[in-house]
């Protein structure tokens, strides 16, 4: 048994709970969102803008920029989860309950210490699509093929260093033993990001 097998066990446990086929564990929900939007831009050939709430965590806006997309802001209030339109990426940082996964989406969850599953670190992308799963799990680990030596790989995909570490996954598995099927959506106060000059008209760096 390899040291990273515990990460796969955690991915499978959360995916089953959420009603998805696959989970891709990463080191934050912010990076889950960035990888998902980058995937939509590069592999689904989406080149337009996306809409996010103006009052959301600042990392979400940066994840749009870092994925190479433009930002539109909506002033609708939200809690629990919202869809980043029109690309079917869902920010579920404040929702974690059984069968929450929305079919066809790249569904991003957070394990921050103030969230429903308070692992204190990490996030995950949920999907039902095997192709999305295989690409995203390589992208999150420097573009590497699982189980292939760095000396033998051919690095054909974009790579980001944002995989989940085994100790984080082990804490997540322990917490999953006590998680309820239904958890009330969380609410949180955020600043109005549309007021910040850096997010006005940005299209990448």
Instruction: Please give the model's pTM, rounded to 2 decimal places.
Output: 0.95
Concatenating the DSSP letter of every residue in the chain gives --TTHHHHHHHHHHHHHHT-SEEEEESBHHHHHHHHHHHHHHHS---SEEEEESBS-HHHHHHHHHTT-EEEEE-----S-EEEBTTTEEEETT---TT---TTSEEEEE--TTSSS--SSBEEEEES-HHHHHHHHHHTBTTPPTT--TTT----S---B-BPPHHHHHHHHHHHTT--S--PPP-----BGGGSGGGTT-B--
Q: Where are the domains of the chain?
A: 5-199
User: 113 or 4: whose pLDDT is higher?
Assistant: 113
pLDDT at residue 76 is higher than 70:
yes
pLDDT digit string (tens) for 120-151? Answer: 999 999 999 999 999 999 999 999 998 899 99
Please state which CATH number belongs to domain 5-199: 3.40.640.10
In the prediction, which pLDDT does 47 show? 86
User: 92 or 3: whose pLDDT is higher?
Assistant: 92
pLDDT at residue 203 is higher than 70:
no
pLDDT digit string (tens) for 154-187? Answer: 999 999 999 999 999 999 999 999 999 999 999 9
> Percent of the chain beyond pLDDT 90?
89
């Amino acid at each position: 048994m390899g040291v990273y097998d515990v990460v796969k066990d955690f991915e499978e446990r959360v995916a089953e709970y959420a009603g998805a086929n696959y989970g891709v564990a990463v080191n934050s929900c912010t990076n889950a969102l960035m990888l998902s939007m980058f995937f939509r831009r590069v592999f689904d050939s989406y080149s337009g803008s996306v809409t996010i709430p103006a009052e959301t965590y600042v990392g979400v806006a940066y994840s749009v920029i870092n994925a190479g997309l433009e930002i539109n802001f909506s002033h609708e209030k939200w809690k629990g989860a919202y869809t980043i339109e029109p690309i079917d990426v869902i920010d579920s940082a404040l929702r974690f309950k059984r069968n929450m996964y929305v079919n066809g989406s790249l569904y991003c969850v957070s394990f921050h210490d103030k969230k429903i599953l308070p692992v204190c670190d990490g996030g995950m992308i949920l999907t039902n699509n095997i192709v999305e799963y295989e690409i995203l799990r390589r992208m999150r680990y420097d573009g590497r093929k699982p189980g292939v030596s760095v000396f033998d790989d051919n690095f054909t995909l974009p790579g980001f260093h944002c995989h989940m570490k085994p100790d984080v996954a082990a804490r997540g598995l322990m917490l999953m033993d006590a998680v309820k099927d239904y958890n009330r959506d969380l609410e949180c106060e955020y600043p109005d990001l549309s007021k910040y000059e850096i997010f006005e008209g940005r299209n990448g760096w």
